[in-house]
Structure formats: structure tokens, C-alpha cells
């Protein structure tokens, strides 16, 4: 048995998604910018995908732009908006993905903005009173807050945040990469300005994402070079990626309730077994609280032990794939900036398990048993 519990990093491609992509790899190969029949056929497919995505998030097709993924979409929302609108202040949290944090830090280093970080408590809960106070003193600010944290799973109330931003005429961008395809998003109801998604987080292909840009915001492209994506992004479109993204999101919305019930049951099963089989097990952030965290993520804080130095390696030997945090920093031995920001004990073993519709109860049982055996050896 090989167990894959790193779905927050990437998910397996749905076979139904591959089936709709395959013809655009082999048969429908025209450049969508070409005016001949081959090109027009592909252009029509892209616009059909755009219409599908727009319909699912309740946007206009003209407000949806395809990108290479969530990172590019975040960069576009942040860098292009701040420069296009001449914004001088920005607010985010220390728990954001590096696609957000690093983009804002570069702008701050260049002297383009003043950056404020929201206060967070030891559970990773954002201080929205601090947000309100900061915006009261600095209206017309750029605000970037993720819908859910990719490491500890905390869900943020982006509706309340959007309302606060609207009250103070702030521009609000939300990185929804971890929740897109797992929760329903209605951009009209939310009233935010920018929202992003990445296909490989909901069983679509890697290397493609999208951004919703509220039509009231006129921003300049981040990538120059052509008139593709209605002059918003230069470069020939990733056609089969776009087709796959739209199909994956369509399936995710179609089967969401069923998948959520299944995945939540797996998370609950792991929680219960870990508490029963491993003494002094804890959970980072709000990941153990069902109504306050992603149902797809459980961030486990294991007892202090020499095992922890090689914990992920030991799990891999046991044929279990998991992670210590964001896959984007897994090759850098700096530890999780999220866990450090909430004051987690870095001497304990911190591991993120993340689940998908393809995981089974048997895989959960196997994983917990393997973990328990490791720590029983240590205490024996």
C-alpha cells in the first residue's frame, strides 16, 4: 500500500478531466489567436471554459482570466493592482502563502508601499479589529487575506473581511487556492475585487489557474508580449490546461457535497485514532475544529522526540506521503513560517496530512498505525 496524504500540495488528475483534455493535446492543436478554422475551434473551446468558470463563481466571463497557476494570479492581483491604481499602503497577515507575502515584501523593499501585518493569536486567528483600526487610519489600502490557510487549515471569514474593506474603500484580494473546488464561491455576494484558483488543487492539471478581476478595477498586465486574455496576459494560452481546469471545477461543484462528507469522515477518523493511539498529540491552528478549518487538512503536532528530525523520511519509508507544510518551501530547511508565526513548538513533530476524494478509511488506519508504532518505539 502506498498512501498519498499530501493533497494540499497537489491532487491526482481526475480521469474525467484527462478525457476532455486529450483531444486538445492530439487533435485540436490550432493556435487560438489564429483566424483560420483550426484556431477558431480552439478559441471557442477556451471561451467555453471561461464561461463555465465564470458561471460557477457567479462572475461575468469578461472578469475571468487564465494564468499559469495561483502564484501568477496572486502576483497579478497584487503587483499590477498596486501599481495600476497607485496604492501606497497594503495589509496582509504573516500566515499568507509566499506568493502573497514575497510579492508584497518586494514592493515594500522597493519603497512602493508601506506594509502592515495583521495580529494573529496562537491558533492562527486573525485580529479583524486590528484590520478595522488600520483601515480607518489608512483608507484606500490594498488588503490580501487568504480564504483558508494551506498549512494549518484555518478558515478566514472573507465575507466579513470583504465588508470591512468595502466600508473603508479598500481593495480586497483573497487567495482562494486551497478552497476553490472544495467550497462554493459567489463573487457577487462576497463583493471582493480579486479571487484566484489553481487547477491542480481540485484534481485538474498543473500549470494552469485563473483570476477573477472585478470589472470596476482597471489594471495593467503583469506579463507583456501579446494581446491574449483580452490584453491581460501575453503568451499563447495553455489550451488543454484551461479545458482541464474548467472541467475539474465543474466536477468539483457537481460532486462537492458528497466529497465533503467523505473527506470530513476521513479527517474525523484520523483525529479520533491519533488521540487514542498517541499520547500528548496536539493539533496546530484550528485544524482539529471541523467548523473552523478546511475539511481537507489536518496539521498534527506530535510529541518531542529524536524521530521528529527524520519524521517525513520515516513516513516515506512506510510508504506514506505527507508534508511539513507548503510544498513551495519543502526544499528549503527554514521551517514553516506559518508555524513560527503562531508560536508552535518547533521541537515537536509537525506534519500536515491532507485528504482528497480518492483516500480511503483503510489508508487512514494504516497511517495512524504506522505513526503510533514510531512513537511507541521511542518511548519503549
Which pLDDT belongs to residue 362?
98
Mean pLDDT of 234-258: 97
Q: How far is Cα 277 from Cα 296, in angstroms, rounded to an integer?
A: 22
pLDDT tens track for 57-81: 999 999 999 999 999 999 999 999 9
pLDDT band at 380 (very low <50, low <70, confident <90, very high): very low
The string of pLDDT tens digits covering residues 195-236 is 999 999 999 999 999 999 999 888 999 999 988 999 899 999
C-alpha 352/C-alpha 5 separation (Å) is: 8
DSSP letter, residue 60? -
Task: Tell me which architecture the domain covering 3-11+256-375 has in CATH.
Answer: Alpha-Beta Complex (3.90)
pLDDT for 347 equals 79
The answer to whether the beta carbons of residues 341 and 120 sit under 8 Å apart is yes
Q: Which residues pair with 209 in a beta bridge?
A: 67, 198
Q: What is the pLDDT of residue 330?
A: 43
Assign domain 15-254 one CATH number from 3.20.20.220, 3.40.640.10, 3.20.20.70, 3.40.50.300.
Answer: 3.40.640.10
pLDDT, one tens digit per residue, over 323-373 is: 985 554 444 445 789 999 998 887 788 999 999 999 999 999 999 999 999
Please name which of 184, 182, 197, 254 lies closest in space to residue 17, comparing C-alpha atoms: 254
Q: Which of 290, 284, 342 is nearest to 118 (CA)?
A: 342
pLDDT of residue 348: 87
- pLDDT the model gives residue 332: 41
Q: For residue 193, what pLDDT is reported?
A: 97
pTM for the model stands at: 0.94
Q: Which of 85, 125, 327, 328 is catalytic?
A: 328
How far apart are the C-alpha atoms of 369 and 218, rounded to whole Å?
54
Pairing of strands 64-67, 209-213: antiparallel
Evaluate whether 251 touches 199 at the Cβ level (below 8 Å): no
Dist CA 174 CA 82 (whole Å): 15
Mean pLDDT of 25-29: 96
Task: Report pLDDT for 307.
Answer: 85
Q: 140: burial class by Cβ within 10 Å (0-12, 13-18, 19+)?
A: middle
| 11 has pLDDT over 70 | yes
pLDDT of residue 377: 54
Q: Given phi > 0 = left and psi -120 to 50 = alpha, else beta, which region is 325?
A: left
**Angstrom distance (rounded) from CA 94 to CA 98:** 10
Q: How far apart are CA 45 and CA 52, in angstroms?
A: 11
Question: Is 328 considered catalytic here?
Answer: yes
d(CA 219, CA 193): 11
In the chain, what are the domain boundaries? 3-11+256-375, 15-254
- For residue 143, give the DSSP letter: E
Mean pLDDT calculated for residue range 125-143: 96
CB-based burial of residue 45 (10 Å sphere; 0-12 exposed, 13-18 middle, 19+ buried)? Answer: buried
Parallel/antiparallel/unpaired status of strands 349-354 and 194-198: unpaired
Q: What is the pLDDT of residue 216?
A: 87
The H-assigned helical ranges of the chain are 15-26, 37-57, 70-75, 81-85, 98-109, 128-137, 158-167, 187-190, 228-231, 239-254, 256-277, 311-317, 337-341, 361-379
Looking at residue 326, what is its pLDDT?
Answer: 53
Q: How many CA atoms lie within 13 A of 231 on its CB side?
A: 3
d(CA 307, CA 315): 11
Alpha-carbon distance values, 371 to 289, 311, 322, 357, 361 (Å): 21, 9, 12, 22, 16
Mean pLDDT of 134-161: 96
Burial class (CB in 10 A: 0-12, 13-18, 19+), 348: buried
Residue 258 contacts by C-beta under 8 Å, 6 or more apart in sequence? none
Q: What is the pLDDT of residues 149-198, one digit of tens each?
A: 999 999 999 999 999 999 999 999 999 999 999 999 999 999 999 999 99
Q: Report the pLDDT averaged over residues 117-138.
A: 96
pLDDT tens per residue, range 263-301: 999 999 999 999 999 999 999 999 999 999 999 999 999
Query: How would residue 379 be classed by pLDDT, with cut points 50, 70 and 90?
Result: very low
Evaluate whether 372 touches 300 at the Cβ level (below 8 Å): no
Amino acid at each position: 500500500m502506498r498512501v498519498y496524504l499530501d493533497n494540499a500540495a497537489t491532487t491526482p488528475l481526475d480521469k474525467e478531466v484527462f478525457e476532455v483534455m486529450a483531444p486538445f493535446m492530439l487533435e485540436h492543436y490550432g493556435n487560438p489567436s489564429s483566424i483560420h478554422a483550426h484556431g477558431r475551434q480552439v478559441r471557442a473551446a477556451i471561451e467555453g471554459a471561461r464561461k463555465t468558470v465564470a458561471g460557477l463563481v457567479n462572475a461575468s466571463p469578461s472578469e475571468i482570466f487564465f494564468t499559469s497557476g495561483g502564484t501568477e494570479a496572486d502576483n497579478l492581483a497584487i503587483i499590477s493592482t498596486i501599481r495600476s491604481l497607485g496604492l501606497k499602503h497594503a495589509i496582509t497577515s504573516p500566515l499568507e502563502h509566499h506568493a502573497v507575502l514575497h510579492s508584497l515584501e518586494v514592493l515594500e523593499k522597493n519603497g512602493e508601499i508601506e506594509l502592515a501585518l495583521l495580529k494573529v493569536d496562537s491558533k492562527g486567528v486573525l485580529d479583524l479589529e486590528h484590520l478595522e483600526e488600520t483601515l480607518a487610519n489608512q483608507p484606500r489600502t490594498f488588503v490580501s487575506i487568504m480564504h483558508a490557510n494551506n498549512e494549518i487549515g484555518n478558515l478566514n471569514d472573507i465575507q466579513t473581511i470583504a465588508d470591512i474593506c468595502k466600508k473603508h474603500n479598500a481593495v480586497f484580494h483573497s487567495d482562494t487556492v486551497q478552497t476553490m473546488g472544495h467550497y462554493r464561491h459567489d463573487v457577487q455576494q462576497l463583493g471582493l475585487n480579486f479571487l484566484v484558483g489553481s487547477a491542480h488543487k481540485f484534481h485538474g492539471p498543473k500549470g494552469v489557474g485563473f483570476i477573477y478581476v472585478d470589472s470596476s478595477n482597471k489594471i495593467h498586465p503583469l506579463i507583456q508580449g501579446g494581446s491574449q486574455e483580452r490584453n491581460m496576459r501575453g503568451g499563447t494560452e495553455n489550451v488543454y490546461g484551461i479545458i482541464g481546469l474548467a472541467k475539474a471545477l465543474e466536477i468539483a461543484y457537481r460532486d462537492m457535497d458528497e466529497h465533503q462528507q467523505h473527506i470530513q469522515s476521513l479527517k474525523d477518523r484520523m483525529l479520533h485514532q491519533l488521540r487514542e493511539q498517541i499520547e500528548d498529540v496536539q493539533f496546530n491552528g484550528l485544524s482539529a475544529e471541523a467548523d473552523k478549518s478546511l475539511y481537507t487538512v489536518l496539521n498534527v503536532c506530535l510529541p518531542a522526540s529524536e524521530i521528529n528530525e527524520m519524521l517525513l523520511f520515516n513516513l516515506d519509508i512506510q510508504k506514506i506521503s505527507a508534508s511539513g507544510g507548503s510544498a513551495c518551501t519543502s526544499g528549503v530547511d527554514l521551517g514553516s513560517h506559518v508555524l513560527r508565526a503562531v508560536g508552535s513548538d518547533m521541537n515537536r513533530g509537525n506534519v500536515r496530512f491532507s485528504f482528497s476524494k480518492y483516500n480511503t478509511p483503510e489508508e487512514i488506519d494504516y497511517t495512524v498505525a504506522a505513526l503510533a508504532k514510531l512513537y511507541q518505539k521511542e518511548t519503549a
